[in-house]
Amino acid sequence: MSSLRTYVITRALLVIPTVLILLTVVFFILRILPGDPIAAMVGQKVPPEVLEKLRKEAGLDKPIVVQYVEYLYNIAHGNFGKSLIWGRRPVIEEIADRFPATLELTIFGFTISVLIGIVTGSIAAFRRGSKIDASLRLYSVLAYTLFIPWFGMLLQMVFGVYLGLLPIGGRIDAGLAPERITGLYVIDSLLTLNFDALVSALSHLILPSITLGIVLSGAYTRIVRNNLIDVLHQDFIMAYRARGVRERKVIFHAMKNAFIPVVTLMGLQFAILLAGAVLTETTFSWPGMGTFLLERIQYRDYTSVQGAIVFYALFVALISLIVDVIYALLDPRVRY
């Protein structure tokens, strides 16, 4: 068995205890919080028998060990419980309705941030010490310190209110939602050849994606610049140039080596984007997981909050595994 395959299998197996620890932490943190979550949701004026019935439906009347075993069993079978409000739908169905919106926004925001970061970081590295380098370093600091709601509202005022070029909220114009296939409006519009929906979906994505992309690009600019400068001064790059290798090929090898730590940051940023899109989704009235989680916290929908956090934890574990595999593919030294 090759060392790369051994590495991938080992990392995949290590995800199991990681996920188990995450699930255990989520379970116990939600249960050690003070107060009765059912009483907090329905209020104190509810008859005791109704309160007890709701606690029984949520499984909170059972011993904590039994709750924990049932919790792990249900999650292993894809059962995240039922919402305690609004028709009491299965939480997994609520997540399936909201997650595509967050994923679509995350993909576009993430892509913009990586593209801006790589371009500005590379330019700063190759122009090291120049005014361009200083300007881009200043940009990276300013971009990273931007407050998302403030920056988002600034873009809304300029491009939505004063210029009237772009919508300032929502995911698509009323009546234009494409037939649901993946839940991602851009892809569904292309698959169903619904170009009106495609234009509307893209126009609604521009402002929130740019907001996320610019704010997150600052970190990429700095890490790409610093790593590229470091790699460009290493011996193997000097050896390439001494042997007369074309500069384009030298730059390719330099950037490939400089991107190894960038891949790690990309994985972390993608996971953070999923969880941290709450501010962006709230600013742009984006119907994704961020607004879903915020809404259910406000209504104290205990099972929905628990299900959403567990879903995030599982997704972050999956992203971490993918990043580890990509890391091993880029760096031959990463093996078992």
Average pLDDT on 13-36 reads 78
Average pLDDT on 121-137 reads 89
Q: Tell me: the pLDDT tens digits for 243-259?
A: 888 888 888 888 777 77
Average pLDDT on 64-78 reads 84
Domain ranges for the chain:
101-288
CB 185 within 8 A of CB 197: yes
Encoded tokens for 120: 């500005």
- 32 pLDDT more than 80: no
- 1 pLDDT more than 60: no
> What pLDDT, on a 0 to 100 scale, did the predictor assign at position 203?
93
Residue 205 binned pLDDT confidence (cut-offs 50, 70, 90): very high
Q: Which of 30-39, 132-141, 154-163 has the lowest mean pLDDT?
A: 30-39
> What pLDDT, on a 0 to 100 scale, did the predictor assign at position 154?
92
Name the fold adopted by 101-288: MetI-like fold (1.10.3720)
Angle between helix 195-232 and helix 91-126 axes, rounded to 10 deg: 50
> What pLDDT, on a 0 to 100 scale, did the predictor assign at position 42?
66
Average pLDDT on 172-194 reads 88
Average pLDDT on 85-90 reads 75
- 151 pLDDT more than 70: yes
> What pLDDT, on a 0 to 100 scale, did the predictor assign at position 335?
61
Give percent above pLDDT 90 in the chain: 13
- 56 pLDDT more than 70: yes
Residue 262 binned pLDDT confidence (cut-offs 50, 70, 90): confident
Of 82, 76, 99, the C-alpha closest to 301 is 82
Q: Tell me: the pLDDT tens digits for 284-330?
A: 888 888 888 888 877 777 778 888 888 887 887 788 788 778 777 77
Contacts of 324-330 spanning 24+ positions with Cβ under 8 A: 324/8, 324/11, 325/8, 325/11, 326/263, 326/267, 327/260, 327/263, 327/264, 328/4, 328/7, 328/8, 329/4, 330/256, 330/259, 330/260, 330/263
- 230 pLDDT more than 80: yes
